[in-house]
Chain A
Protein backbone atom coordinates (compact mmCIF):
# COMPACT_ATOMS: atom_id res chain seq x y z
CA UNK A 1 0.00 0.00 0.00
CA UNK A 2 1.25 3.48 -0.84
CA UNK A 3 1.87 6.01 1.90
CA UNK A 4 0.40 9.48 1.76
CA UNK A 5 3.86 10.80 0.95
CA UNK A 6 4.16 8.44 -2.00
CA UNK A 7 0.77 9.54 -3.25
CA UNK A 8 1.78 13.16 -2.91
CA UNK A 9 5.00 12.54 -4.83
CA UNK A 10 3.14 10.75 -7.58
CA UNK A 11 0.54 13.51 -7.74
CA UNK A 12 3.34 16.02 -8.02
CA UNK A 13 4.90 14.01 -10.83
CA UNK A 14 1.58 13.79 -12.61
CA UNK A 15 1.14 17.53 -12.24
CA UNK A 16 4.71 18.02 -13.40
CA UNK A 17 4.17 15.76 -16.39
CA UNK A 18 1.11 17.78 -17.29
CA UNK A 19 3.30 20.87 -17.09
CA UNK A 20 1.45 22.68 -14.37
CA UNK A 21 2.53 23.06 -10.78
CA UNK A 22 -0.01 25.25 -9.05
CA UNK A 23 2.05 25.77 -5.89
CA UNK A 24 4.96 27.05 -7.95
CA UNK A 25 2.64 29.39 -9.80
CA UNK A 26 1.14 30.68 -6.55
CA UNK A 27 4.59 31.70 -5.40
CA UNK A 28 4.62 34.16 -8.31
CA UNK A 29 1.69 36.02 -6.74
CA UNK A 30 2.71 37.30 -3.27
CA UNK A 31 -0.71 38.91 -2.82
CA UNK A 32 -2.22 35.45 -2.47
CA UNK A 33 -0.28 34.56 0.65
CA UNK A 34 -2.04 36.81 3.11
CA UNK A 35 -4.75 36.25 5.66
CA UNK A 36 -8.17 37.88 5.76
CA UNK A 37 -10.08 37.80 9.05
CA UNK A 38 -7.42 35.45 10.32
CA UNK A 39 -7.88 32.96 7.48
CA UNK A 40 -5.78 32.42 4.37
CA UNK A 41 -7.15 34.54 1.54
CA UNK A 42 -9.06 32.63 -1.13
CA UNK A 43 -9.26 34.94 -4.13
CA UNK A 44 -12.13 33.92 -6.39
CA UNK A 45 -12.95 37.28 -7.94
CA UNK A 46 -10.67 36.93 -10.93
CA UNK A 47 -13.34 37.80 -13.47
CA UNK A 48 -13.58 41.23 -11.86
CA UNK A 49 -9.84 41.73 -11.72
CA UNK A 50 -7.01 39.21 -11.75
CA UNK A 51 -3.97 39.43 -9.50
CA UNK A 52 -0.64 40.68 -10.79
CA UNK A 53 2.44 38.42 -10.65
CA UNK A 54 5.57 39.74 -8.99
CA UNK A 55 7.46 39.81 -12.26
CA UNK A 56 4.92 42.28 -13.68
CA UNK A 57 5.08 44.42 -10.54
CA UNK A 58 8.85 44.48 -10.88
CA UNK A 59 8.75 45.38 -14.54
CA UNK A 60 6.49 48.36 -13.84
CA UNK A 61 8.67 49.42 -10.91
CA UNK A 62 11.82 49.14 -13.02
CA UNK A 63 10.27 51.36 -15.64
CA UNK A 64 9.33 53.97 -13.04
CA UNK A 65 12.70 53.68 -11.33
CA UNK A 66 14.99 53.67 -14.35
CA UNK A 67 13.22 54.38 -17.62
CA UNK A 68 10.40 56.82 -17.11
CA UNK A 69 9.95 59.59 -19.59
CA UNK A 70 7.34 60.60 -22.11
CA UNK A 71 7.23 58.47 -25.22
CA UNK A 72 7.40 59.32 -28.92
CA UNK A 73 8.54 62.85 -28.17
CA UNK A 74 12.00 63.37 -26.88
CA UNK A 75 15.25 62.77 -28.69
CA UNK A 76 16.83 62.15 -25.34
CA UNK A 77 18.00 58.87 -23.93
CA UNK A 78 15.18 58.16 -21.46
CA UNK A 79 12.45 58.99 -23.92
CA UNK A 80 13.95 56.52 -26.34
CA UNK A 81 14.16 53.85 -23.67
CA UNK A 82 10.56 54.43 -22.62
CA UNK A 83 9.42 54.37 -26.25
CA UNK A 84 11.31 51.16 -26.93
CA UNK A 85 9.74 49.47 -23.90
CA UNK A 86 6.27 50.75 -24.78
CA UNK A 87 6.47 49.68 -28.42
CA UNK A 88 8.02 46.42 -27.28
CA UNK A 89 4.86 45.77 -25.28
CA UNK A 90 2.81 46.41 -28.42
CA UNK A 91 4.78 43.80 -30.30
CA UNK A 92 4.20 41.35 -27.44
CA UNK A 93 0.48 42.00 -27.72
CA UNK A 94 0.64 41.42 -31.47
CA UNK A 95 2.21 38.01 -30.99
CA UNK A 96 -0.13 37.17 -28.12
CA UNK A 97 -3.22 37.62 -30.29
CA UNK A 98 -1.50 36.80 -33.59
CA UNK A 99 -2.34 40.09 -35.28
CA UNK A 100 -0.71 40.63 -38.67
CA UNK A 101 0.87 43.92 -37.66
CA UNK A 102 1.68 45.66 -34.37
CA UNK A 103 0.00 48.85 -35.62
CA UNK A 104 -3.31 46.97 -35.51
CA UNK A 105 -3.00 46.94 -31.71
CA UNK A 106 -4.16 50.19 -30.15
CA UNK A 107 -3.44 50.78 -26.50
CA UNK A 108 -6.38 51.86 -24.34
CA UNK A 109 -7.12 52.05 -20.63
CA UNK A 110 -9.27 48.94 -20.72
CA UNK A 111 -12.25 47.27 -22.35
CA UNK A 112 -14.75 50.01 -21.65
CA UNK A 113 -12.57 52.58 -23.35
CA UNK A 114 -11.91 50.07 -26.13
CA UNK A 115 -15.57 49.54 -26.97
CA UNK A 116 -16.19 53.27 -26.77
CA UNK A 117 -13.28 53.88 -29.12
CA UNK A 118 -14.82 51.61 -31.74
CA UNK A 119 -18.24 53.13 -31.17
CA UNK A 120 -17.02 56.70 -31.67
CA UNK A 121 -14.40 56.14 -34.34
CA UNK A 122 -16.14 53.41 -36.34
CA UNK A 123 -19.79 53.17 -35.25
CA UNK A 124 -20.53 56.83 -35.75
CA UNK A 125 -19.20 56.63 -39.31
CA UNK A 126 -21.06 53.56 -40.47
CA UNK A 127 -24.31 53.57 -38.49
CA UNK A 128 -27.10 55.83 -39.71
CA UNK A 129 -30.83 56.29 -39.21
CA UNK A 130 -32.71 53.03 -39.59
CA UNK A 131 -29.55 50.90 -39.36
CA UNK A 132 -29.09 48.15 -36.82
CA UNK A 133 -26.43 47.10 -34.34
CA UNK A 134 -26.58 43.58 -32.93
CA UNK A 135 -25.48 42.70 -29.39
CA UNK A 136 -26.23 39.61 -27.31
CA UNK A 137 -28.37 39.09 -24.25
CA UNK A 138 -25.32 38.12 -22.21
CA UNK A 139 -23.20 41.23 -22.78
CA UNK A 140 -21.49 43.23 -20.07
CA UNK A 141 -22.92 46.75 -19.83
CA UNK A 142 -19.76 48.06 -21.48
CA UNK A 143 -20.76 46.25 -24.67
CA UNK A 144 -24.38 47.40 -24.49
CA UNK A 145 -24.48 50.99 -23.31
CA UNK A 146 -22.09 52.51 -25.91
CA UNK A 147 -24.17 50.92 -28.69
CA UNK A 148 -27.38 52.14 -27.12
CA UNK A 149 -25.92 55.64 -27.01
CA UNK A 150 -24.97 55.34 -30.67
CA UNK A 151 -28.42 54.05 -31.68
CA UNK A 152 -30.09 56.86 -29.80
CA UNK A 153 -27.88 59.45 -31.46
CA UNK A 154 -28.34 58.06 -34.97
CA UNK A 155 -31.92 56.84 -34.83
CA UNK A 156 -30.66 53.31 -35.26
CA UNK A 157 -31.96 50.14 -33.67
CA UNK A 158 -30.31 47.80 -31.18
CA UNK A 159 -31.09 44.13 -31.82
CA UNK A 160 -30.40 41.40 -29.29
CA UNK A 161 -29.31 37.79 -29.86
CA UNK A 162 -31.30 35.83 -27.26
CA UNK A 163 -29.90 33.04 -25.11
CA UNK A 164 -31.45 29.86 -23.78
CA UNK A 165 -31.79 28.93 -20.11
CA UNK A 166 -28.41 27.19 -20.14
CA UNK A 167 -26.87 30.54 -21.03
CA UNK A 168 -26.03 29.73 -24.65
CA UNK A 169 -26.73 32.06 -27.54
CA UNK A 170 -29.50 30.89 -29.87
CA UNK A 171 -27.72 31.06 -33.19
CA UNK A 172 -30.81 30.28 -35.29
CA UNK A 173 -32.34 33.48 -34.00
CA UNK A 174 -29.09 35.30 -34.66
CA UNK A 175 -29.40 34.47 -38.37
CA UNK A 176 -32.83 36.08 -38.43
CA UNK A 177 -31.39 39.28 -36.94
CA UNK A 178 -28.74 39.70 -39.62
CA UNK A 179 -30.11 41.79 -42.42
CA UNK A 180 -29.45 44.55 -44.90
CA UNK A 181 -29.47 47.18 -42.19
CA UNK A 182 -27.06 45.38 -39.83
CA UNK A 183 -23.88 47.44 -39.54
CA UNK A 184 -22.05 45.69 -36.71
CA UNK A 185 -22.30 42.63 -34.47
CA UNK A 186 -20.90 42.99 -30.92
CA UNK A 187 -20.53 39.89 -28.73
CA UNK A 188 -18.35 38.76 -25.89
CA UNK A 189 -15.93 35.87 -26.20
CA UNK A 190 -16.78 34.65 -22.69
CA UNK A 191 -19.70 35.85 -20.57
CA UNK A 192 -18.43 37.40 -17.34
CA UNK A 193 -21.69 36.54 -15.58
CA UNK A 194 -22.20 32.96 -16.77
CA UNK A 195 -18.85 31.73 -18.04
CA UNK A 196 -20.30 30.77 -21.43
CA UNK A 197 -17.68 30.54 -24.17
CA UNK A 198 -19.35 31.82 -27.30
CA UNK A 199 -18.76 30.27 -30.75
CA UNK A 200 -16.97 33.33 -32.12
CA UNK A 201 -15.73 31.72 -35.34
CA UNK A 202 -19.26 30.67 -36.18
CA UNK A 203 -20.69 34.10 -35.35
CA UNK A 204 -18.00 35.79 -37.44
CA UNK A 205 -18.58 33.44 -40.38
CA UNK A 206 -22.34 34.02 -40.35
CA UNK A 207 -21.90 37.79 -40.01
CA UNK A 208 -19.29 38.02 -42.74
CA UNK A 209 -21.53 36.01 -45.04
CA UNK A 210 -23.89 39.01 -44.79
CA UNK A 211 -21.02 41.49 -45.08
CA UNK A 212 -21.27 42.54 -41.43
CA UNK A 213 -18.15 43.13 -39.31
CA UNK A 214 -17.83 41.72 -35.78
CA UNK A 215 -16.50 43.21 -32.57
CA UNK A 216 -15.50 40.73 -29.87
CA UNK A 217 -15.37 41.84 -26.24
CA UNK A 218 -12.42 39.74 -25.10
CA UNK A 219 -12.26 40.94 -21.49
CA UNK A 220 -12.80 37.39 -20.23
CA UNK A 221 -11.43 35.66 -23.33
CA UNK A 222 -7.83 36.80 -23.10
CA UNK A 223 -7.20 35.48 -19.56
CA UNK A 224 -8.62 32.02 -20.30
CA UNK A 225 -8.12 31.16 -23.95
CA UNK A 226 -5.41 31.38 -26.58
CA UNK A 227 -6.40 34.23 -28.89
CA UNK A 228 -5.76 34.15 -32.62
CA UNK A 229 -7.51 37.09 -34.24
CA UNK A 230 -6.60 35.91 -37.73
CA UNK A 231 -8.10 32.51 -37.10
CA UNK A 232 -11.22 34.04 -35.51
CA UNK A 233 -11.26 36.53 -38.39
CA UNK A 234 -13.03 39.06 -36.14
CA UNK A 235 -12.78 42.71 -37.13
CA UNK A 236 -12.21 44.08 -33.63
CA UNK A 237 -11.03 42.30 -30.49
CA UNK A 238 -11.04 44.22 -27.21
CA UNK A 239 -8.76 43.37 -24.29
CA UNK A 240 -8.58 44.59 -20.72
CA UNK A 241 -5.13 44.31 -19.13
CA UNK A 242 -6.20 43.98 -15.52
CA UNK A 243 -8.32 40.93 -16.30
CA UNK A 244 -5.22 39.18 -17.59
CA UNK A 245 -2.75 39.74 -14.76
CA UNK A 246 -1.56 43.21 -15.83
CA UNK A 247 -2.08 46.51 -14.01
CA UNK A 248 -5.28 48.53 -14.36
CA UNK A 249 -5.13 51.23 -16.99
CA UNK A 250 -3.84 48.87 -19.66
CA UNK A 251 -5.81 47.45 -22.56
CA UNK A 252 -5.92 46.89 -26.27
CA UNK A 253 -8.21 47.38 -29.22
CA UNK A 254 -7.23 45.09 -32.05
CA UNK A 255 -8.70 46.16 -35.37
CA UNK A 256 -8.03 45.06 -38.91
CA UNK A 257 -5.69 47.62 -40.46
CA UNK A 258 -8.01 48.41 -43.37
CA UNK A 259 -10.84 49.30 -40.97
CA UNK A 260 -8.61 51.28 -38.62
CA UNK A 261 -7.22 53.27 -41.56
CA UNK A 262 -10.62 54.49 -42.61
CA UNK A 263 -11.84 55.27 -39.08
CA UNK A 264 -12.09 58.72 -37.55
CA UNK A 265 -9.82 59.62 -34.65
CA UNK A 266 -11.11 59.02 -31.13
CA UNK A 267 -9.75 61.66 -28.78
CA UNK A 268 -8.16 64.78 -30.23
CA UNK A 269 -4.90 66.08 -28.84
CA UNK A 270 -1.20 65.47 -28.75
CA UNK A 271 0.43 62.38 -30.28
CA UNK A 272 -2.44 61.69 -32.68
CA UNK A 273 -1.56 64.41 -35.21
CA UNK A 274 0.75 64.76 -38.16
CA UNK A 275 0.52 68.55 -38.32
CA UNK A 276 -1.68 71.19 -36.73
CA UNK A 277 -2.56 74.66 -37.96
CA UNK A 278 -5.67 76.64 -37.08
CA UNK A 279 -6.94 76.02 -40.60
CA UNK A 280 -6.36 72.30 -40.83
CA UNK A 281 -5.05 69.38 -38.80
CA UNK A 282 -3.91 66.15 -40.39
CA UNK A 283 -3.88 63.01 -38.33
CA UNK A 284 -1.17 60.52 -37.61
CA UNK A 285 -1.38 57.01 -38.98
CA UNK A 286 -2.49 54.00 -36.97
CA UNK A 287 -2.14 53.27 -34.11
CA UNK A 288 -1.14 56.81 -33.01
CA UNK A 289 -4.32 58.28 -34.51
CA UNK A 290 -6.22 56.63 -31.63
CA UNK A 291 -3.73 57.29 -28.86
CA UNK A 292 -4.05 60.97 -28.01
CA UNK A 293 -2.25 62.16 -24.92
CA UNK A 294 0.31 60.45 -22.74
CA UNK A 295 -0.80 56.85 -22.16
CA UNK A 296 -0.46 54.72 -19.01
CA UNK A 297 3.09 53.80 -20.02
CA UNK A 298 3.99 51.75 -16.95
CA UNK A 299 0.70 49.82 -17.16
CA UNK A 300 1.10 48.99 -20.84
CA UNK A 301 4.68 47.87 -20.30
CA UNK A 302 3.22 45.80 -17.45
CA UNK A 303 0.79 44.25 -19.92
CA UNK A 304 3.73 43.23 -22.06
CA UNK A 305 5.34 41.65 -18.98
CA UNK A 306 2.07 39.85 -18.13
CA UNK A 307 2.09 38.38 -21.63
CA UNK A 308 5.69 37.22 -21.11
CA UNK A 309 4.55 35.65 -17.87
CA UNK A 310 1.61 33.84 -19.48
CA UNK A 311 3.91 32.61 -22.24
CA UNK A 312 6.24 31.19 -19.61
CA UNK A 313 3.42 28.92 -18.40
CA UNK A 314 2.12 25.87 -20.16
CA UNK A 315 -1.14 27.54 -21.06
CA UNK A 316 -2.80 24.33 -22.17
CA UNK A 317 -2.02 22.81 -18.78
CA UNK A 318 -3.21 25.99 -17.05
CA UNK A 319 -6.46 25.76 -18.97
CA UNK A 320 -6.91 22.11 -18.00
CA UNK A 321 -6.31 23.07 -14.38
CA UNK A 322 -8.94 25.82 -14.54
CA UNK A 323 -11.40 23.42 -16.13
CA UNK A 324 -10.70 20.91 -13.38
CA UNK A 325 -11.44 23.60 -10.77
CA UNK A 326 -14.67 24.49 -12.56
CA UNK A 327 -15.81 20.87 -12.70
CA UNK A 328 -14.85 20.23 -9.10
CA UNK A 329 -16.51 23.42 -7.81
CA UNK A 330 -19.65 22.66 -9.79
CA UNK A 331 -19.78 19.18 -8.22
CA UNK A 332 -19.10 20.43 -4.71
CA UNK A 333 -21.65 23.25 -4.81
CA UNK A 334 -24.32 21.25 -6.61
CA UNK A 335 -24.10 18.64 -3.85
CA UNK A 336 -25.18 21.22 -1.26
CA UNK A 337 -28.95 21.36 -0.89
CA UNK A 338 -30.31 24.79 -1.69
CA UNK A 339 -27.52 25.80 -4.11
CA UNK A 340 -28.41 26.41 -7.74
CA UNK A 341 -25.80 27.03 -10.44
CA UNK A 342 -26.73 29.71 -12.98
CA UNK A 343 -25.31 29.02 -16.43
CA UNK A 344 -24.90 25.51 -17.79
CA UNK A 345 -23.36 26.12 -21.20
CA UNK A 346 -21.59 23.15 -22.75
CA UNK A 347 -18.55 25.35 -23.42
CA UNK A 348 -17.77 27.17 -20.23
CA UNK A 349 -14.79 28.98 -18.71
CA UNK A 350 -13.96 28.85 -15.00
CA UNK A 351 -16.69 31.26 -13.93
CA UNK A 352 -19.34 29.88 -11.59
CA UNK A 353 -22.47 31.91 -10.85
CA UNK A 354 -24.74 30.53 -8.17
CA UNK A 355 -27.54 31.32 -5.78
CA UNK A 356 -28.40 29.79 -2.41
CA UNK A 357 -32.11 29.38 -1.68
CA UNK A 358 -33.53 32.90 -1.56
CA UNK A 359 -30.55 34.32 0.30
CA UNK A 360 -29.45 37.57 -1.25
CA UNK A 361 -25.98 37.34 -2.84
CA UNK A 362 -24.71 40.32 -0.84
CA UNK A 363 -25.41 38.45 2.35
CA UNK A 364 -23.62 35.43 0.87
CA UNK A 365 -20.69 37.69 -0.02
CA UNK A 366 -20.47 39.03 3.54
CA UNK A 367 -20.35 35.55 5.09
CA UNK A 368 -17.78 34.36 2.54
CA UNK A 369 -15.65 37.44 3.10
CA UNK A 370 -15.76 36.69 6.80
CA UNK A 371 -14.29 33.30 5.93
CA UNK A 372 -11.53 34.98 3.92
CA UNK A 373 -13.08 34.19 0.54
CA UNK A 374 -13.40 36.92 -2.09
CA UNK A 375 -16.23 36.45 -4.56
CA UNK A 376 -18.37 38.89 -6.49
CA UNK A 377 -21.98 39.37 -5.48
CA UNK A 378 -24.25 41.43 -7.65
CA UNK A 379 -25.49 41.82 -11.19
CA UNK A 380 -21.95 41.68 -12.63
CA UNK A 381 -22.68 44.69 -14.84
CA UNK A 382 -24.88 42.36 -16.87
CA UNK A 383 -28.39 43.24 -15.74
CA UNK A 384 -30.05 41.72 -18.84
CA UNK A 385 -28.58 38.35 -17.80
CA UNK A 386 -30.14 38.75 -14.36
CA UNK A 387 -33.45 39.71 -15.98
CA UNK A 388 -33.32 36.58 -18.13
CA UNK A 389 -33.05 34.38 -15.04
CA UNK A 390 -35.43 36.62 -13.05
CA UNK A 391 -32.83 37.17 -10.36
CA UNK A 392 -31.72 40.41 -8.72
CA UNK A 393 -28.15 39.18 -8.48
CA UNK A 394 -25.96 36.11 -8.22
CA UNK A 395 -22.87 35.14 -6.28
CA UNK A 396 -19.96 34.44 -8.60
CA UNK A 397 -16.77 32.51 -7.96
CA UNK A 398 -14.30 32.94 -10.81
CA UNK A 399 -11.13 30.89 -10.90
CA UNK A 400 -7.68 31.61 -12.27
CA UNK A 401 -4.90 29.09 -12.82
CA UNK A 402 -3.43 29.97 -9.42
CA UNK A 403 -6.48 28.70 -7.56
CA UNK A 404 -6.51 25.26 -6.01
CA UNK A 405 -8.86 22.39 -5.23
CA UNK A 406 -8.31 23.12 -1.54
CA UNK A 407 -9.70 26.60 -2.15
CA UNK A 408 -12.77 25.04 -3.78
CA UNK A 409 -13.17 22.99 -0.59
CA UNK A 410 -12.97 26.18 1.45
CA UNK A 411 -15.64 27.72 -0.78
CA UNK A 412 -17.95 24.74 -0.33
CA UNK A 413 -17.48 24.77 3.45
CA UNK A 414 -18.20 28.50 3.56
CA UNK A 415 -21.35 28.02 1.48
CA UNK A 416 -22.52 25.55 4.10
CA UNK A 417 -21.82 28.19 6.72
CA UNK A 418 -23.97 30.63 4.72
CA UNK A 419 -26.86 28.21 5.08
CA UNK A 420 -26.15 27.85 8.77
CA UNK A 421 -26.10 31.61 9.43
CA UNK A 422 -28.69 32.79 6.92
CA UNK A 423 -30.77 29.75 5.94
Chain B
Protein backbone atom coordinates (compact mmCIF):
# COMPACT_ATOMS: atom_id res chain seq x y z
CA UNK B 1 0.00 0.00 0.00
CA UNK B 2 2.97 2.30 0.69
CA UNK B 3 4.00 2.34 -3.00
CA UNK B 4 0.46 3.21 -4.02
CA UNK B 5 0.12 5.96 -1.44
CA UNK B 6 3.44 7.34 -2.65
CA UNK B 7 2.33 7.21 -6.28
CA UNK B 8 -1.01 8.84 -5.56
CA UNK B 9 0.25 11.20 -2.87
CA UNK B 10 -1.49 14.38 -1.74
CA UNK B 11 0.16 16.71 -4.24
CA UNK B 12 -0.57 14.46 -7.23
CA UNK B 13 -4.13 13.89 -6.09
CA UNK B 14 -4.68 17.62 -5.66
CA UNK B 15 -3.24 18.57 -9.06
CA UNK B 16 -4.79 15.55 -10.76
CA UNK B 17 -8.26 16.47 -9.57
CA UNK B 18 -7.89 20.24 -10.01
CA UNK B 19 -5.28 20.90 -12.66
CA UNK B 20 -3.74 24.39 -12.77
CA UNK B 21 -3.33 26.41 -15.95
CA UNK B 22 -6.08 24.35 -17.55
CA UNK B 23 -7.23 26.69 -20.30
CA UNK B 24 -6.93 27.59 -23.95
CA UNK B 25 -4.41 30.38 -24.52
CA UNK B 26 -5.47 32.65 -27.36
CA UNK B 27 -2.17 34.55 -27.32
CA UNK B 28 0.00 31.40 -27.59
CA UNK B 29 2.81 31.58 -30.13
CA UNK B 30 3.67 27.90 -29.77
CA UNK B 31 1.21 25.05 -29.60
CA UNK B 32 1.79 21.31 -29.58
CA UNK B 33 -0.41 18.27 -29.28
CA UNK B 34 0.65 15.29 -27.21
CA UNK B 35 -0.97 11.91 -27.55
CA UNK B 36 -0.48 8.39 -26.30
CA UNK B 37 -2.52 6.37 -28.81
CA UNK B 38 -2.25 3.22 -26.70
CA UNK B 39 -3.96 4.62 -23.62
CA UNK B 40 -5.68 7.72 -24.97
CA UNK B 41 -3.89 10.36 -22.85
CA UNK B 42 -4.12 13.54 -24.85
CA UNK B 43 -3.24 17.20 -24.40
CA UNK B 44 -2.92 20.48 -26.20
CA UNK B 45 -0.08 22.53 -24.78
CA UNK B 46 0.01 26.30 -25.23
CA UNK B 47 3.14 28.41 -24.85
CA UNK B 48 3.76 32.10 -24.94
CA UNK B 49 7.47 32.09 -25.55
CA UNK B 50 9.21 35.48 -25.44
CA UNK B 51 12.97 35.93 -25.93
CA UNK B 52 13.58 32.33 -24.99
CA UNK B 53 11.51 32.56 -21.80
CA UNK B 54 8.21 30.90 -21.01
CA UNK B 55 6.02 33.93 -20.37
CA UNK B 56 2.87 31.87 -20.09
CA UNK B 57 1.99 28.20 -20.39
CA UNK B 58 -1.32 26.32 -20.26
CA UNK B 59 -2.90 23.07 -21.37
CA UNK B 60 -6.12 21.24 -21.98
CA UNK B 61 -6.55 17.52 -22.25
CA UNK B 62 -7.83 14.31 -20.85
CA UNK B 63 -6.20 11.28 -19.36
CA UNK B 64 -5.27 9.52 -16.17
CA UNK B 65 -4.49 11.19 -12.87
CA UNK B 66 -0.71 10.85 -13.18
CA UNK B 67 -0.83 12.48 -16.58
CA UNK B 68 -3.11 15.33 -15.50
CA UNK B 69 -1.12 16.02 -12.36
CA UNK B 70 2.10 15.98 -14.34
CA UNK B 71 0.68 18.43 -16.90
CA UNK B 72 -0.59 20.70 -14.18
CA UNK B 73 2.60 20.70 -12.14
CA UNK B 74 4.79 21.09 -15.20
CA UNK B 75 2.94 24.23 -16.26
CA UNK B 76 3.03 25.54 -12.69
CA UNK B 77 6.77 24.98 -12.45
CA UNK B 78 7.79 26.32 -15.84
CA UNK B 79 6.14 29.72 -15.88
CA UNK B 80 8.87 32.32 -16.13
CA UNK B 81 11.69 29.88 -16.82
CA UNK B 82 14.03 29.95 -19.80
CA UNK B 83 14.04 27.35 -22.55
CA UNK B 84 17.27 25.74 -21.37
CA UNK B 85 16.15 25.60 -17.75
CA UNK B 86 12.99 23.83 -18.88
CA UNK B 87 14.97 21.24 -20.77
CA UNK B 88 17.28 20.64 -17.84
CA UNK B 89 14.26 20.12 -15.61
CA UNK B 90 12.88 17.53 -18.01
CA UNK B 91 16.22 15.73 -17.91
CA UNK B 92 16.12 15.56 -14.14
CA UNK B 93 12.42 14.71 -14.07
CA UNK B 94 12.90 11.89 -16.55
CA UNK B 95 15.87 10.49 -14.68
CA UNK B 96 13.83 10.53 -11.49
CA UNK B 97 10.76 8.75 -12.88
CA UNK B 98 12.81 6.00 -14.50
CA UNK B 99 14.66 5.49 -11.21
CA UNK B 100 18.04 6.88 -12.28
CA UNK B 101 17.97 9.87 -9.98
CA UNK B 102 17.39 9.67 -6.26
CA UNK B 103 15.72 13.05 -5.95
CA UNK B 104 15.66 12.98 -2.15
CA UNK B 105 19.38 12.52 -1.70
CA UNK B 106 20.92 14.13 -4.76
CA UNK B 107 20.94 17.90 -5.40
CA UNK B 108 18.42 18.89 -8.10
CA UNK B 109 16.06 21.64 -9.10
CA UNK B 110 12.88 19.57 -9.13
CA UNK B 111 11.20 21.07 -6.06
CA UNK B 112 7.52 20.02 -5.91
CA UNK B 113 8.06 17.81 -8.95
CA UNK B 114 9.66 15.33 -6.56
CA UNK B 115 6.09 14.23 -5.86
CA UNK B 116 6.50 12.05 -8.96
CA UNK B 117 9.41 10.03 -7.59
CA UNK B 118 6.97 7.18 -6.79
CA UNK B 119 6.37 6.67 -10.52
CA UNK B 120 9.69 4.82 -10.73
CA UNK B 121 8.04 1.89 -8.89
CA UNK B 122 5.44 1.66 -11.66
CA UNK B 123 7.36 1.45 -14.95
CA UNK B 124 4.19 1.22 -17.09
CA UNK B 125 3.14 4.64 -15.80
CA UNK B 126 6.34 6.46 -16.80
CA UNK B 127 4.77 7.46 -20.10
CA UNK B 128 1.82 9.08 -18.32
CA UNK B 129 4.12 11.37 -16.35
CA UNK B 130 6.43 12.17 -19.26
CA UNK B 131 3.89 12.88 -22.01
CA UNK B 132 3.37 16.57 -21.08
CA UNK B 133 7.14 17.06 -21.00
CA UNK B 134 7.55 15.39 -24.38
CA UNK B 135 4.91 17.74 -25.68
CA UNK B 136 6.73 20.69 -24.15
CA UNK B 137 9.91 19.51 -25.86
CA UNK B 138 8.07 19.38 -29.20
CA UNK B 139 6.65 22.88 -28.67
CA UNK B 140 10.08 24.29 -27.80
CA UNK B 141 11.54 22.63 -30.90
CA UNK B 142 8.81 24.21 -33.01
CA UNK B 143 7.10 20.89 -33.75
CA UNK B 144 3.36 20.56 -33.40
CA UNK B 145 3.01 16.95 -32.23
CA UNK B 146 4.55 14.58 -29.76
CA UNK B 147 3.65 11.01 -28.92
CA UNK B 148 4.66 8.96 -25.96
CA UNK B 149 5.72 6.14 -28.26
CA UNK B 150 9.35 7.09 -27.96
CA UNK B 151 10.66 5.63 -24.75
CA UNK B 152 14.13 7.09 -24.87
CA UNK B 153 15.59 9.89 -22.78
CA UNK B 154 14.74 13.54 -23.49
CA UNK B 155 16.09 14.93 -26.74
CA UNK B 156 18.54 17.21 -24.99
CA UNK B 157 20.00 14.32 -23.02
CA UNK B 158 20.39 12.27 -26.17
CA UNK B 159 22.38 14.98 -27.86
CA UNK B 160 26.11 14.44 -27.88
CA UNK B 161 28.15 16.57 -25.52
Q: Do chains A and B interact in one complex?
A: yes
Contacts of A378 in B (CB 8 A): 38-40
CB-CB nearest in chain B for A37: B3
CB-CB nearest in chain B for A378: B39
In the bound complex, do residue A362 and residue B128 qualify as a contact, i.e. CB atoms below 8 Å apart? yes
Of A201-209, A223-231, A247-255, A363-371, the segment with at least 4 beta carbons within 8 Å of chain B is: A363-371
Tell me, in angstroms, the Cα distance from A378 to B62 when the chains sit together.
13
Most B CB atoms within 10 A — which of A363, A367, A370, A393?
A363
Whether B64 is near chain A, meaning CB under 8 Å from some CB there, is yes
Whether B114 is near chain A, meaning CB under 8 Å from some CB there, is no
In the bound complex, do residue A363 and residue B3 qualify as a contact, i.e. CB atoms below 8 Å apart? no
Q: From the candidates B7, B38, B63, name the one contacting A366 in the complex (CB within 8 A).
A: B7
Contacts of A361 in B (CB 8 A): 64
Whether B155 is near chain A, meaning CB under 8 Å from some CB there, is no
Q: How far is the CB of B128 from the nearest CB of chain A, in Å?
A: 7
Q: From the candidates A360, A366, A422, name the one contacting B122 in the complex (CB within 8 A).
A: A366
CB-CB nearest in chain A for B125: A366
In the bound complex, do residue A392 and residue B62 qualify as a contact, i.e. CB atoms below 8 Å apart? yes
Whether B8 is near chain A, meaning CB under 8 Å from some CB there, is yes
In the bound complex, do residue B5 and residue A392 qualify as a contact, i.e. CB atoms below 8 Å apart? no
Tell me, in angstroms, the Cα distance from A422 to B5 when the chains sit together.
9
Whether B65 is near chain A, meaning CB under 8 Å from some CB there, is yes
Q: From the candidates A359, A362, A370, name the one contacting B3 in the complex (CB within 8 A).
A: A370
Interface residues on chain A, size class: 10 to 19
In the bound complex, do residue A363 and residue B4 qualify as a contact, i.e. CB atoms below 8 Å apart? no
Enumerate B1-24 residues with CB–CB distance to A below 8 Å: 1, 3-5, 7-8, 13
Q: How far is the CB of A321 from the nearest CB of chain B, in Å?
A: 32
Contact of A421 with B65 at beta-carbon distance under 8 Å, contacts A362-B39, A366-B125, A392-B40 already known: no
Contacts of B65 in A (CB 8 A): 359-360, 363, 422
Whether A109 is near chain B, meaning CB under 8 Å from some CB there, is no
Tell me, in angstroms, the Cα distance from A378 to B40 when the chains sit together.
8
Whether A379 is near chain B, meaning CB under 8 Å from some CB there, is yes
In the bound complex, do residue A379 and residue B40 qualify as a contact, i.e. CB atoms below 8 Å apart? yes
Contact of A393 with B66 at beta-carbon distance under 8 Å, contacts A363-B8, A366-B125, A370-B3 already known: no
In the bound complex, do residue A392 and residue B122 qualify as a contact, i.e. CB atoms below 8 Å apart? no
In the bound complex, do residue B64 and residue A421 qualify as a contact, i.e. CB atoms below 8 Å apart? no
Of the A-B pairs whose beta carbons lie under 8 Å apart in the complex, a sample of 12, sorted by A's number, is: A360-B64, A360-B65, A362-B39, A362-B63, A363-B65, A366-B7, A366-B124, A367-B4, A378-B39, A392-B63, A421-B5, A422-B65
- Closest CB pairs A-B (n = 9): A360-B64, A362-B64, A363-B65, A363-B64, A392-B40, A370-B4, A421-B8, A392-B62, A421-B4
